[in-house]
Amino acid sequence: MSFPKCGICSFEYSDETGHRVPRTLKCSHTVCSSCAGKLVENCAIECPLCRGITSDIVNNDVGTLQKNFGLLDFMRNLTVESDVVYVNSPPQCRAHSYNLAEFVCIKSDCTAEDKLMCRTCEEFGKHKGHQKGLLVEEGMKIRKKVGELINETKSQKELIEIHLEKIKSVQDSYASNGDNYKMVVNGVNLHFESIRRIVDEAEEKVLQALRDKSESATDKVDQLASNDEFDIVVLNEYIEKMNQLLLNPDSELIGNNPSLQRTNFNLRIIEPPKPLTENDVLLPTVTLNETGSGQQ
- Residue ranges per domain, the chain? 1-89, 179-295
pLDDT value of residue 289: 60
The answer to whether residue 272 scores a pLDDT higher than 90 is no
Average pLDDT over residues 180-188: 88
The answer to whether residue 249 scores a pLDDT higher than 90 is no
pLDDT value of residue 285: 72
Stated pTM of the model: 0.38
Residue type, 288: L
pLDDT value of residue 277: 78
Instruction: Report pLDDT digits (tens) over 69-110.
Output: 888 887 776 533 434 444 557 888 888 887 888 899 999 999
The answer to whether residue 44 scores a pLDDT higher than 90 is yes
Q: Please report the DSSP string for 116-132 in residue order.
A: EE-HHHHHTSTTTT--E
Average pLDDT over residues 50-71: 90
Average pLDDT over residues 205-231: 86
* Fold of the 1-89 domain: Herpes Virus-1 (3.30.40)
Average pLDDT over residues 190-202: 90
Rg of the chain (C-alpha set):
61
The answer to whether 31 and 5 have CB atoms below 8 angstroms apart is: no
The answer to whether residue 296 scores a pLDDT higher than 60 is no
User: Which range has the top average pLDDT, 37-41, 85-89, 122-126?
Assistant: 37-41
pLDDT value of residue 82: 37
pLDDT value of residue 85: 43
Tell me the C-alpha distance between 48 and 52, whole Å: 8
Min mean pLDDT across 107-116, 133-142, 235-244, 286-295 is at 286-295
The answer to whether 20 and 8 have CB atoms below 8 angstroms apart is: no
pLDDT value of residue 79: 39
Min mean pLDDT across 61-65, 76-80, 122-126 is at 76-80
pLDDT value of residue 104: 92
The answer to whether residue 173 scores a pLDDT higher than 60 is yes
Tell me the C-alpha distance between 42 and 61, whole Å: 11
The answer to whether 44 and 64 have CB atoms below 8 angstroms apart is: no
- Residue of 61, 33, 35, 56 lying closest to 44 (CA atoms): 56
pLDDT value of residue 97: 80
